């Protein structure tokens, strides 16, 4: 099987999960954000851009049964500043991989979509069938990618599945730049610096542990899918916990999990942030047999320990 973006945060955990389940794993990553130290030793690594002809050739000739597609432009703010770049990575490069996949007889492609952006600002929790109201170019490209998958499924019979993650956290998440809040809080605690919360801190997110997300990818590789129904609503599953945690509560939980204590400071609210998010995960439980298994406390503890060590 092939993992695109396997040197990145979530992709490296996905590669680990498939290796642990006995699969042969090849990884493509251009190392634009991913790190060589995230690559599992047992995987074969090809340093390639997913938009390149070499990557398409590899997918077409590599004999892969399953692809987990995670390589992407992942930053909402970059997508606003440079929507062309976002579309190149998240649509054109995806099409490059899909074209390789249809010529290569790939059985299934599991796509990393986002439940944090496709549903927009309606009050949570969101069902998969909720209206799709993305408010950023990144949200639009994730949704457009899902439509392309459904279209390729109907045209060429490649089975495609979209997993819509909520806010994923855990070891190997990059705390620099536009990173997850857990990685940022963790590195502040390690450095004994104050934690900064923007706005009143009552904005909520649904935090799901990376190992649970990796297991969802593994289950999605083999789940029996319904026949295409002629619409562009392809098979999609929310992957979260269903629990809303405020940033204030997250900061308290991270302080407890780390055993450290630092001041918490508030800065003015950042514009364009969703006020609340959480996903309904009943469909993943029912169809994939998936439920999150790692509690927020245990996940935060594992993440903090990794941040302190600085590596696996």
Ligand X SMILES: NC(=O)c1ccc[n+]([C@@H]2O[C@H](COP(=O)([O-])OP(=O)(O)OC[C@H]3O[C@@H](n4cnc5c(N)ncnc54)[C@H](O)[C@@H]3O)[C@@H](O)[C@H]2O)c1
- Catalytically annotated residues: 138
Q: How far apart, in Å, are the Cα atoms of 145 and each of 26, 41, 42, 91, 285?
A: 23, 31, 30, 6, 24
Pick one of 20, 32, 37, 178: the residue that binds ligand X (CB under 6 A).
32
- Smallest gap from Cβ 296 to ligand X, in A, equals 15
**Angle at CA 123, nearest 5°, toward 120 and 129?**
65
Closer to ligand X by CB, 28 or 253: give it. Answer: 28
Pick one of 19, 31, 85, 260: the residue that binds ligand X (CB under 6 A).
31
Q: Does 168 bind ligand X (CB under 6 A)?
A: yes
Closer to ligand X by CB, 3 or 251: give it. Answer: 3
Pick one of 26, 112, 204, 277: the residue that binds ligand X (CB under 6 A).
112
- Smallest gap from Cβ 39 to ligand X, in A, equals 10
**Environment class of residue 171 by beta-carbon count within 10 Å: exposed (0-12), middle (13-18) or buried (19+)?**
buried
Q: Does 294 bind ligand X (CB under 6 A)?
A: no
62's tokens: 């590599």
Q: Does 8 bind ligand X (CB under 6 A)?
A: yes
CA dihedral 180, 207, 278, 286 (to 10 degrees): 130
**Environment class of residue 309 by beta-carbon count within 10 Å: exposed (0-12), middle (13-18) or buried (19+)?**
exposed
- Smallest gap from Cβ 113 to ligand X, in A, equals 6
Distance CA 206, CA 279 (A): 7
- Smallest gap from Cβ 34 to ligand X, in A, equals 2
Q: Is 10 within 8 Å of 112 (Cβ atoms)?
A: yes
- Residue identified by tokens 């940033």 is 247
Closer to ligand X by CB, 71 or 262: give it. Answer: 71
Closer to ligand X by CB, 14 or 106: give it. Answer: 14
Q: Binding residues for ligand X, per CB under 6 A?
A: 5, 7-11, 28-34, 49-51, 70-72, 74, 89, 93, 112, 114, 116, 165, 167-168, 180
């Amino acid at each position: 099987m092939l993992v695109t973006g396997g040197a990145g945060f979530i992709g490296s955990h996905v590669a680990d999960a498939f290796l642990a389940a006995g699969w042969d794993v090849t990884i493509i990553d251009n190392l634009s954000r991913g790190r060589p130290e995230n690559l599992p030793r047992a995987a074969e690594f090809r340093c390639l851009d997913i938009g390149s002809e070499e990557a398409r050739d590899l997918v077409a000739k590599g004999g892969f049964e399953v692809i987990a597609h995670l390589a992407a432009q992942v930053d909402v703010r970059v997508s606003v500043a440079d929507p062309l770049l976002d579309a190149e990575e998240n649509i054109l490069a995806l099409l490059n991989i899909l074209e390789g996949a249809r010529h290569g007889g790939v059985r299934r492609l599991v796509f990393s979509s986002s439940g944090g952006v496709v549903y927009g600002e309606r009050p949570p929790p969101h069902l998969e069938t909720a209206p799709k109201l993305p408010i950023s170019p990144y949200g639009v490209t994730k949704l457009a990618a899902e439509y392309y998958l459904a279209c390729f499924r109907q045209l060429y019979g490649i089975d495609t599945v979209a997993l819509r993650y909520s806010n994923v956290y855990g070891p190997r998440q990059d705390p620099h730049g536009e990173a997850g809040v857990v990685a940022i809080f963790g590195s502040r605690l390690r450095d004994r610096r104050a934690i900064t919360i923007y706005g009143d801190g009552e904005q909520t997110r649904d935090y799901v542990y990376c190992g649970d997300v990796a297991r969802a990818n593994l289950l999605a590789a083999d789940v029996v899918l319904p026949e295409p129904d002629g619409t562009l609503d392809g098979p999609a599953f929310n992957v979260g916990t269903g629990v809303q945690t405020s940033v204030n509560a997250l900061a308290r939980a991270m302080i407890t999990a780390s055993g450290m204590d630092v001041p918490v400071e508030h800065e003015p609210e950042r514009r364009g942030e969703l006020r609340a998010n959480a996903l309904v995960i009943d469909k993943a439980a029912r169809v994939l047999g998936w439920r999150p298994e790692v509690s927020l406390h245990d996940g935060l503890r594992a993440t903090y320990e990794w941040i302190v060590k600085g590596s696996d």
